[in-house]
Homo-oligomer: A and B are copies of this chain.
């Protein structure tokens, strides 16, 4: 767990309400951010840029091909403690490795929503105990959804996944690798994404005016979805010390507001709205989960997860197969028994015919004897 001391300009606590300041400073703060998007959208680099330190080390190529061999999305957890004066931030960064990278990405968001629900469930179980001290909050407070810079807007996967995720976590959409879009393209793309989000009724996290000045909120609303550029390296030359990407035709700086919205997003997450993200998770999302669970669950058993459904479906298929085999077997047994019965019936019929004959013979004998008796009596 890397211990990062005094990163530059990390917490501008003056913007937090003053009565909470002392309280917050004393208490440890847990903050979990999830980065969701396909490989190569710059999630890891962005995360390091956001916390101004090497929170997550970049993946090697070998690791990448290993991920693709697994054929399933998995969640990678990185923890770091960030210290500033008395304040300790327990930071967890979750990476959705393999998301959207496969040929078939059907239901690839299930692993993620299951994970999100699991954290709520853990918290809920703790909530129901008599001794509730020292519970650790592993719930996810923010999901940054990385949209690839496709000029047409969002792909079906993005629309469906964002819709599902927004029901389990605060989602903020970001346009990854925005340095591949020109200014007019970026503006047009933002418009299209907002139109799609509105049309699909996807509710995203949005900072309320309570904690932020109206102007800031307006500025943020205009910037959303945030176009970001991420970079591992400080650029030398003229733009000394600044972090950016150096192309043959120029250098894009990540903190330059003319180049991208990174600074705005960083301000939103780190300086102005971290507390609001935590509270929104507690008061809106967790409450919704808790309510739904307590209303719906029977005898305190949590609802089934997708993975369980699949296992049940597999079992169902197995049973169905068994039933089919059994029915074939039964059919054969029936046939055999029918054949046997037919033999029995024929035997019985034969026996009956024999008895018939026997009876006929006996009756003729009887008749003959009766005749004899009649004649004798007459004598």
The residue in chain B whose Cβ has the minimal distance to the Cβ of A160 is B103
In the complex, which residues of chain B have a beta carbon less than 8 angstroms from the beta carbon of A365? 366
Minimal beta-carbon separation of A373 from chain B (angstroms): 6
Map CB proximity to B onto A243-255 as digits: 1 under 8 Å, 0 otherwise: 0011111111100
Map CB proximity to B onto A339-363 as digits: 1 under 8 Å, 0 otherwise: 0011011001101100110110011
In the complex, which residues of chain B have a beta carbon less than 8 angstroms from the beta carbon of A337? 338
Flag if B64 contacts A152 (CB, 8 Å).
yes
In the complex, which residues of chain B have a beta carbon less than 8 angstroms from the beta carbon of A103? 104-106, 156-157, 160
Minimal beta-carbon separation of A18 from chain B (angstroms): 38
Name the contact of A334 in the complex, choosing from B102, B104, B331 (C-beta under 8 A): B331
Which segment, of A115-123, A175-183, A272-280, A310-318, faces chain B? A175-183
In the complex, which residues of chain B have a beta carbon less than 8 angstroms from the beta carbon of A40? 148-152
CA distance A249 to B180 in the complex (A): 12
Q: How many copies does the complex hold?
A: 2
Q: Interface majority SS on A: helix, strand, loop or mixed?
A: helix
Please report A residues at the B interface, Cβ cutoff 8 Å.
38-40, 59, 61, 64, 68, 101-106, 148-153, 155-157, 160, 177, 179-180, 182-183, 192, 245-253, 256, 258-259, 324, 327-328, 330-331, 334-335, 337-338, 341-342, 344-345, 348-349, 351-352, 355-356, 358-359, 362-363, 365-366, 369-370, 372-373, 376
In the complex, which residues of chain B have a beta carbon less than 8 angstroms from the beta carbon of A150? 38-40
Minimal beta-carbon separation of A341 from chain B (angstroms): 5
Known: A253-B249, A366-B365. A152 touches B338 (CB 8 A): no
In the complex, which residues of chain B have a beta carbon less than 8 angstroms from the beta carbon of A366? 362, 365-366, 369
